[in-house]
Amino acid sequence: MKRILLLGLCCVLLLGAIACNAPEIIPPNNTDTKNDLDISACHTATYTPASEATCFVQFVLEGGATFVVELYPDKAPQTVAHFQKLVAGHYYDGLTFHRVWKDYCVYGGDPVSTGTGCAIDPIPGEFKDNGFEQNDLQHQRGTISMWHTSADPDSATTQFFIMQKDSAACNGKYAAFGRVIYGMETIDAIANVTLTEEQPSNNKTKPVKPPVIKAVTFVTVDGTDAE
């Protein structure tokens, strides 16, 4: 009997070790479901769900804040296709805006909410400094762009950032692939959340309570479908 129990314990430990190889989606370290995102300052209109992938993507945050991104496949085709695949698979649902750099940009899409998650095979960097001349999108207020490591321009996976202010320094260095067309006030509210005082090495960019992405979905936008 002891031998059977021991074998069972070994199997459990082995399965646990295997499971540890897969990135874990870690929920925000909150004691409640609320955060300090000021919903009263946010966009809250919602848009008509689409039955298939479109170039319009709606983010709905916990609490009801929303914003809509328009994608530009003519500028960054692989990046847009990759992002659409993630949206279709509900990859971003439940993740957070894990890093906030007020008056610059906000970061989201990391499966471990630390800025180090890398759960999916990387895609080529579609930007000029990486030899991709087709993408001439500027990093202006509202631009959404894929994050990559400084060591590897072809390391973009799931993390993205959205510009709160213009940044010429990012032009040609990251794969911009769309822009916020509705709800920039929500981005401004995200940039205003309280930050932890425990990260001097990271410029104190970690929110105390990271805003949670409830759902990211494809929508249709024709100017009349805001609710």
For residue 85, the model assigns a pLDDT of 96
| Alpha carbon distance 28, 8 (integer Å) | 33
For residue 36, the model assigns a pLDDT of 85
Mean pLDDT rounded to a whole number for the chain? 83
For residue 121, the model assigns a pLDDT of 83
Residue at token pair 């990093």: 139
Whether the Cβ atoms of residue 43 and residue 186 lie closer than 8 Å to each other: yes
Q: Poorest-confidence range of 17-31, 102-116, 191-205? A: 17-31
Question: All domains of the chain, ordered by start, with CATH?
Answer: 27-220 (2.40.100.10)
Joined together, the tokens standing for residue 74 give: 């003519």
pLDDT tens profile 162-179: 999 999 999 999 999 999
Q: Please report which confidence band the pLDDT of residue 58 belongs to, taking 50, 70 and 90 as the band edges.
A: very high
Would you say the pTM of this structure is higher than 0.85?
no
For residue 151, the model assigns a pLDDT of 87
Cβ burial 37-49 (10 Å sphere, 16+ → b, else e): bbbeebbbebbee
pLDDT tens profile 114-150: 555 556 788 999 999 999 999 999 999 999 999 988 8
Q: Please report which confidence band the pLDDT of residue 63 belongs to, taking 50, 70 and 90 as the band edges.
A: very high
Joined together, the tokens standing for residue 10 give: 């070994």
H or E stretch covering 175: strand 175-182
Chain CA centroid to CA 63, Å: 17
Q: Please report which confidence band the pLDDT of residue 31 belongs to, taking 50, 70 and 90 as the band edges.
A: very low
Q: Please report which confidence band the pLDDT of residue 200 belongs to, taking 50, 70 and 90 as the band edges.
A: very low
Q: Please report which confidence band the pLDDT of residue 7 belongs to, taking 50, 70 and 90 as the band edges.
A: very low
